Structure 1
Amino acid sequence: MEDKMNNNVGSERNTRRELRRQRRIKAQITAYAITGVLGISVVSGAFFTVSKIVHAVKAYNAQVEETVAEAREVDVEPAAVASPDENITDSEVMSNDSMLDHIVDTCISEMPLEDKVAGLFMITPEQLTGSDAVIKAGNTTQDALSTYAVGGLFYVSKNIKDEAQIKDMLSSTASMSKYPLFISTVEVGGEKSIVANALSLGAVASPSELGASGNPDEAYNTASKVADYLEGYGFNMNLGVNANLADGGNSFGTDSQVVSSMVAKTVEGLQTFGVSACLQYFPETINSGNDAEGLADVLAPFKAGIDAGASMIMVCTAPSMGLTGDDTPSCLSPTVIQDVLRGQLGYDGIIITDSLSDLADRYSSADAAVAAIQAGADMIFIPADFVESYQGVLAAVQNGTISEDRINESLKRIYRVKYAGRVDEITNE
């Protein structure tokens, strides 16, 4: 009996060891597959759409499965002493998070500098194409995306005519891009909901109504409904999560604790159902003159959103003189972005500026964009002149004012969000 038990233990140990070895083989080969597929895509000029990557990796994975099958056929003989494989732990197998990093790093390493810089911009389709009101994605959109591989596009009511039109335009636009796009809008709920109003959908509760209810679960349910129809039409980013303390339909109210709970549940509701959440407007929309300690209640909802996993935070154009000591716009301030948002609140997600067109009377489009990147922003939102802003940042990298490593740092944050939900699909696990 004792011998039988010892044999069983040895067999189980060997089986576990062999399974770990198979998993490691598959993870390593899949990683090489991703590298090869993405590299070939860039060289050949192919698009970086997820569907194309998935198709290529699935084809390659036939070889992976054959290798793993061969591994399963290997007879593992009991050993008198532990072999090196015996010490393999699950941590040595490429995790989902590590695979995501690998995908992101591979994409970025193969991108030309011009595409890297363009990928930091979220603009309107009109800025991209030069048209007055874009309601269709055709040759003009294709040509523009080939020239400027922007990171995201922002749509408003003038871009939406009916359900079939918006679905077709957004899906066509996404398929035309060399890289994954943020397809965004501002959908706050209530009467000011852009998409719901344009398509005559049933209204969901406004932030002020949710705040007054005091029920965070209702915020989650409302956000999940919003995510459901946004994702269905092709949107993957909602810029409309207001974390400011204020009265009015777009805000959850003035009670910091209530607003914090509402913001957290709204982030969860959106992101659980496939739409990334962006918190507005850090740290406050009107300069109060308060220092960080005096802004504790104001910052609490943002911290709650961060803890809930918010993909993006929009920093306002208003100054925060209590933090900076001058009238520098918050989105151009290293103190606001690096010291407070990154340092004090510990945020490592995407930081995007508010619309830089608001600063056109103080800065050129190029100077504002360069200053925002130098301050620590990852993305530029709607500059007054997109081409001038893009050329300004590109020139700054080319002349060494901004390092390419700094651009890569922002792109990693951006692409981690864009690919986060697709790792299993890409690797076909």
Structure 2
Amino acid sequence: MAGGDRGTPRRDTRGGDVARGSGVSRRAAVLLGCGVATLAGGAAIASRCARVTGSSTRSSSDSSASGPTLDQRVSQAVASLTLEQKVAQMFMPTPEALTGVGQVTAAGETTRKAFASVPVGGLCYFAQNLIDPSQTKQMLASADAISRDEVGLPLLMAVDEEGGTVSRIGGNDGFDVDNVGDMRDVGDTGDPQRAHDVCEGIAGYLSPLGFNLDLAPDADIVSGTSQTMARRSFGTSADVVTPMVGQAVRGFLDGGIMCCAKHFPGIGGVEGDSETEAIQTKRTLDQMRGKELLPFEEAIRQGIPMVMVGHLSCPAVTGDSTPASLSKAIVTELLRDELGFDGIIITDSLQMGAVSGLHSASELGVTAIQAGVDMLLMTPSLGESYQGVLDAVSTGTLDEARIDESVARIVRAKLGYAS
């Protein structure tokens, strides 16, 4: 997955297409809720974040002299979308998967045509898409303008920017931004404020570029011999990781960007790598409650807008080898019902080896949605997965009301953070 929307042979000096009709001059300001609220103090931040995630103690449907409430705006926005548009909002592919272009570094006519066909809810960008600040700002602004033109909603523009070994901007030669380093080193300081400051700093360079979602922080607790998460996690115990994750969430939100705790219910103690193979934990639910779930619970308390579910199997919890991302017992019964999370639940990449062979591309998204997932990250075939969900609604396998539930959560986040 690599950097330019090359819908025509015409190329600019950055390797992307000439962004004709891209709407760059119409770039919408990214007024991210929690970042704006920072100006008014901590109470305002907490109120805004709670409202967006649906955890406010005061109903957002209360009447307001200033206009429609957030609940009313969400309902109106969802009602304005066709079924095809609603289903598309549940997908977050790479720009390459959306356009069919080998390397996307701009959002021009090719992106506009692709978006008209499948107006996805978000795009996930990687280092190959990001050349320098000017190019990145123009690309993201253009993509957002296209989304607003097509469906009247901002686009979730996401990046994996954890720091250390997972960094697309920090340390990238095209950007004058240092890599903040591994979160393990942050955890080793024993100071949660350090996690806050580092993540607020990451938000501070992502937001001006146009990103409104960072797929971080990592909320896993490292144990066992696997080194997959060794440097990405804040540490090896719940006592260390839990407060670090909580303050990381506050740092991102205080810095004006949405964030995503991952990889629920915790892959830090699992052997192997879900990128290439099936992974499994032998932990029971009671054991998880006393360890792995604690950082996620803290993230929820701090107003996390999104949680990513990993692909680990939890047979001691679910009774079978179904990956967590496709399991109703994990997604709905545990994360949604027991932990009370009402923000966006997104899968880990559905191209990973741990899930890629379990279902066809047309069935995979349906299975995840049946489990309770709201957004599908990087399905193996965007077109097939998208059509598969539409067909499932047509046949009654999925109810449109179930689609509406997820779309309402997605729209709520967009209107609360990125309008």
Which residue pairs with 2:194 in the alignment? 218
Q: Tell me, in whole angstroms, the C-alpha distance in 1 between the residues paired with 2:171 and 2:206.
A: 13
Q: Tell me, in whole angstroms, the C-alpha distance in 1 between the residues paired with 2:343 and 2:218.
A: 17
Which residue pairs with 1:328 in the alignment? 322
Which residue pairs with 1:190 in the alignment? 164
Task: State yes or no: 1:232 paired with 2:208.
Answer: yes
Q: Deviations over 1:302-322 (max 9, x none)?
A: 001011111101111121111
Q: Tell me, in whole angstroms, the C-alpha distance in 1 between the residues paired with 2:386 and 2:393.
A: 11
Q: Tell me, in whole angstroms, the C-alpha distance in 2 between the residues paired with 1:158 and 1:259.
A: 31
| Contact 1:205–1:222 (8 Å) recurs in 2 | no
Q: Residue 113 and residue 219 in structure 1: after superposition, are their counterparts in 2 closer, same or farther (change >3 A)?
A: same
Task: State yes or no: 1:161 paired with 2:131.
Answer: yes
Aligned pairs for 1:110-189 (under 5 A) are 110-177=80-147, 178=150, 179-189=153-163
1:363 pairs, out of 344, 359, 374, with 359
Task: State yes or no: 1:284 paired with 2:284.
Answer: no
Q: Tell me, in whole angstroms, the C-alpha distance in 2 between the residues paired with 1:210 and 1:420.
A: 30
Q: Tell me, in whole angstroms, the C-alpha distance in 2 between the residues paired with 1:97 and 1:333.
A: 40
Q: Which has the higher contact order (CA 8 A, sep 6+)?
A: 2
Secondary structure of 2:233's partner? Answer: coil
Q: Tell me, in whole angstroms, the C-alpha distance in 2 between the residues paired with 1:98 and 1:322.
A: 46
Which residue pairs with 1:294 in the alignment? 287
Root-mean-square deviation (CA, aligned residues, Å) is 2.2
| Contact 1:281–1:316 (8 Å) recurs in 2 | yes
Q: Tell me, in whole angstroms, the C-alpha distance in 1 between the residues paired with 2:181 and 2:397.
A: 47
Higher helix share: 1
Q: TM-score when scaled to structure 1?
A: 0.76
| Contact 1:50–1:180 (8 Å) recurs in 2 | no
Task: State yes or no: 1:275 paired with 2:253.
Answer: no
Q: Tell me, in whole angstroms, the C-alpha distance in 1 between the residues paired with 2:75 and 2:171.
A: 40
Q: Tell me, in whole angstroms, the C-alpha distance in 1 between the residues paired with 2:28 and 2:264.
A: 35
Secondary structure of 1:295's partner? Answer: helix
Q: 1:195 deviation in Å?
A: 1.3
**Corresponding letter in the other structure for 1:268:** R
Percent of aligned pairs with the same residue? 37
1:416 pairs, out of 412, 415, 418, with 412
Q: 1:98 deviation in Å?
A: 6.9
**Structure having the higher Rg:** 1
Secondary structure of 1:271's partner? Answer: helix
Q: 1:206 deviation in Å?
A: 2.2
Q: 1:95 deviation in Å?
A: 8.0
Aligned length: 340
1:101 pairs, out of 71, 85, 89, with 71
Unmatched segments (≥5 aa) in structure 1: 1-45, 55-89, 424-429
Aligned pairs for 1:48-127 (under 5 A) are 51=28, 93-94=63-64, 99-127=69-97
1:266 pairs, out of 248, 270, 280, with 248
| Contact 2:62–2:69 (8 Å) recurs in 1 | no
**Corresponding letter in the other structure for 1:398:** S
2:236 pairs, out of 247, 251, 254, with 254
Aligned pairs for 1:313-324 (under 5 A) are 313-324=307-318
**Corresponding letter in the other structure for 1:337:** V
Q: 1:97 deviation in Å?
A: 11
Task: State yes or no: 1:206 paired with 2:182.
Answer: yes
| Contact 2:212–2:418 (8 Å) recurs in 1 | no
| Contact 2:27–2:145 (8 Å) recurs in 1 | no
Which residue pairs with 2:338 in the alignment? 344
| Contact 1:124–1:154 (8 Å) recurs in 2 | yes
Which residue pairs with 1:396 in the alignment? 392
Which residue pairs with 2:48 in the alignment? none
**Corresponding letter in the other structure for 2:320:** D
| Contact 1:356–1:365 (8 Å) recurs in 2 | no
| Contact 2:63–2:69 (8 Å) recurs in 1 | no
Q: Tell me, in whole angstroms, the C-alpha distance in 2 between the residues paired with 1:325 and 1:150.
A: 34
Q: Tell me, in whole angstroms, the C-alpha distance in 2 between the residues paired with 1:142 and 1:161.
A: 21
Secondary structure of 2:287's partner? Answer: coil
**Corresponding letter in the other structure for 1:114:** E
Q: TM-score when scaled to structure 2?
A: 0.77
